[in-house]
Amino acid sequence: MRFNALNRALLQACPGLPLRADEPMAAHTSLRIGGPAALMAFPRSPEELRLCRSLAADRGIPVLLMGNGTNLLAPDEGLAALVLCTTGMTELERTGETEITADCGVPLARLSKFAQVQGLDGLAFAHGIPGSVGGAVYMNAGAYGGEMKDVVDRTVYLDREGELCILSGSEHGFSYRRSVFFDNSGTVLRVRFRLTPGDPKAIEARMTEFAAKRRVSQPLEFPNAGSTFKRPQGYFAAALIDQCGLKGLSVGGAQVSEKHAGFLINRGGATCADMLKLMDLVRDVVQRETGILLEPEIRIL
């Protein structure tokens, strides 16, 4: 009943807002795992997202924010929550000589391509990362020597109370796969990137090179959430897992990729329980054999 009332309130406050009841999370996560969300909304602007959050809070209904779902492991039993999917928030523009501003739902591939066409360098590393701007800033996503911390200049976000706030520069608290948003529970709305002038053809060449490396080294043919574990200081998670002979280890439909040991993949029909059990097995063996405890990089809901 609470979700029916919330559904009505959302449609009244945001006419035309796309809403889906009992929407399978598996359809919105790159692992293709997860039961139904009680209610899923697709806000089309920061204003609609703010209204959705506020109306849910007024009714004591928990809210989950997600973008492309490329770093999420959702539970098999589903979520008794309002899931706000930001894939409809895609405004992207050049806002200065070396600046680009993007909504939280803009895919990183689109962002990096836009920068390349504009002759702005600094985002080539992000071209093959399948996530969106909001999640990338939240976890300081990175690849091939680049990270969000290198290019993020300013972020507009909602705090716990739903108030609009702004962070600049070092206030983001970026560190390895982490930002201040882990601690302040902020909701990223819009991000301004500060880049450097560059040659579009040279930038495109690097993006092509990175894409080729990914195709060769990563199991892109199977549902996955990228690197399952964080990189331990001084080591590489994939190398440790491989060293322990765990490539190909399976639990149900979940498997340690034979192509890249850092990826735990869905070979077909994997459940959240399968993936969690496989993660536990990998961590136990690696800790026993090497003394190093692996920490999840994926977000377990």
Res 104 pLDDT > 80:
yes
CA distances from 74 to 51, 108, 196, 272, 276 (A): 25, 22, 38, 7, 11
User: Is the pTM of the predicted complex or chain greater than 0.75?
Assistant: yes
For residues 52 and 54, give the distance between their C-alpha atoms in angstroms, rounded to a whole number: 5
Fold assignment, 2-88:
3.30.43
Res 191 pLDDT > 90:
yes
At 145, is the pLDDT very low, low, confident or very high (cuts 50, 70, 90)?
confident
Q: According to the model, what pLDDT value does residue 214 have? A: 87
- Dump pLDDT digits (tens) for 193-236: 999 999 999 999 999 999 888 888 889 899 999 899 999 989 99
Tokens matching residue 226: 């990228």
Res 1 pLDDT > 80:
no
b/e for 99-109, b at 16 or more Cβ within 10 A?
ebbbbbbbbbb
- Dump pLDDT digits (tens) for 20-46: 999 999 999 999 999 999 999 999 998
Res 284 pLDDT > 80:
yes
Res 276 pLDDT > 90:
yes
Residue type, 30: S
> Percent of the chain having pLDDT more than 90?
82
> Percent of the chain having pLDDT more than 70?
100
Res 183 pLDDT > 90:
no
Return the active site residues: 177, 227, 297
Mean pLDDT, to the nearest integer, of 291-297? 95
What is the pLDDT of the chain when averaged over all its residues? 94
At 133, is the pLDDT very low, low, confident or very high (cuts 50, 70, 90)?
very high
Mean pLDDT, to the nearest integer, of 235-252? 96
Continuous H helices in the chain: 2-13, 46-58, 108-117, 133-138, 181-184, 200-217, 237-243, 272-290
At 185, is the pLDDT very low, low, confident or very high (cuts 50, 70, 90)?
confident
Res 161 pLDDT > 90:
no
Q: Indicate the domain borders of the chain.
A: 2-88, 92-216, 237-300
At 160, is the pLDDT very low, low, confident or very high (cuts 50, 70, 90)?
confident
Asked if the 237-300 domain carries CATH number 1.20.58.710, the reply is no
Res 184 pLDDT > 90:
no
At 11, is the pLDDT very low, low, confident or very high (cuts 50, 70, 90)?
confident
Res 144 pLDDT > 90:
no
Note the CATH number of domain 92-216: 3.30.465.10
At 130, is the pLDDT very low, low, confident or very high (cuts 50, 70, 90)?
confident
Q: Largest Cα–Cα distance of the chain, in whole Å? A: 58
Question: What angle separates helix 108-117 from helix 200-217, to the nearest 10 degrees?
Answer: 150
